[in-house]
Amino acid sequence: MAKIKPSKGSPYARILGVGGYRPVRVVPNEVILETIDSSDEWIRSRSGIETRHWANDEETVAAMSVEASGKAIADAGITAQQIGAVVVSTVSHFKQTPAVATEIADKLGTNKAAAFDISAGCAGFGYGLTLAKGMVVEGSAEYVLVIGVERLSDLTDLEDRATAFLFGDGAGAVVVGPSKEPAIGPTVWGSEGDKSETIKQTVPWTEYDSSGKFPAITQEGQAVFRWAVFEMAKVAKEALDAAGISADELDVFIPHQANERIIDSMVKTLKLPETVMVARDVRTTGNTSAASIPLAMERLLATGEAKSGDTALVIGFGAGLVYAATVVTLP
């Protein structure tokens, strides 16, 4: 019986570079208040959001991804031709096929890199990061580009008082490559499909014509808040334990930028010390789903609030309900 030759991958993987793209248009709360009965004070107190970015016609899912990816590739110190796989997490690319990842891989100038999309909502970046780590360690790709990108303004019901102010657009990308030491910890991930109705698209695409209203994202705010605060804090703690890291040893906390109240509650539940830098990109970027973690990571490094080599806990959670948490070393 023939034996399969073992793969020749790297013993470990790490994030080597990060890049982000935020659309040119900045939308303050005042614009949102044109279509809902609320106030700037209410929006800020409920979510922490002051502004968000909305894409124009030219800032497509692919275009934003290419911009963010180019920065991540340059930051990693490699070329696009060295990218062996492109993984894109998005729920706002409206073509069922082909995957937008193939278009991005081509526009970046990769050498026929493997390319595919995944749909895991706000946990999508964590899912993609886990897949990328596996590819690098297994040896099927030396460098993997992971992109989280959304145009959630296309899926926002501007008359829905519960969600109209939440969502923004943007793209974040990281390059994952070989490492001589552990730099991406074990992933704690999963799903709770029995709660899938708490965050969902209002109607399927097949019912769009008959409904007469474009599908949008809706959610049961209080149910999502309770789940995120109590259940996701447990998942975050599991990820710390799996990586052998205590809260006191953590440098940075980068949770999904869904809502600042959720972030504050998680910090309190996890009993993170004041020395831990907490990402609060939600204030000026809003909830960008799969893009929120890499965008927040990029901003922390760009502003110097976090530095290369810092140990960071990242956790994403959202529609499905799905979640993914891991500890990483920042590029």
Residues assigned a catalytic role: 122, 256, 287
- Residue 221 burial by CB count (10 A; 0-12/13-18/19+): exposed, middle or buried? middle
Take residue 103 and report the two structure tokens written for it. Answer: 């278009």
- Residue 178 burial by CB count (10 A; 0-12/13-18/19+): exposed, middle or buried? middle
Alpha helices in the chain (DSSP H): 29-32, 40-47, 61-76, 100-108, 124-138, 208-211, 221-226, 232-243, 260-270, 282-285, 292-303
Three-class DSSP labels, 263-288: HHHHHHHHCCCCCCEECCCHHHHCEC
189-210: burial string, b at 16+ Cβ within 10 Å, e else: beeeeebeebbeebeeeeeeee
Write the DSSP symbol of residue 59.
-
What is the residue whose two structure tokens read 């657009």?
169
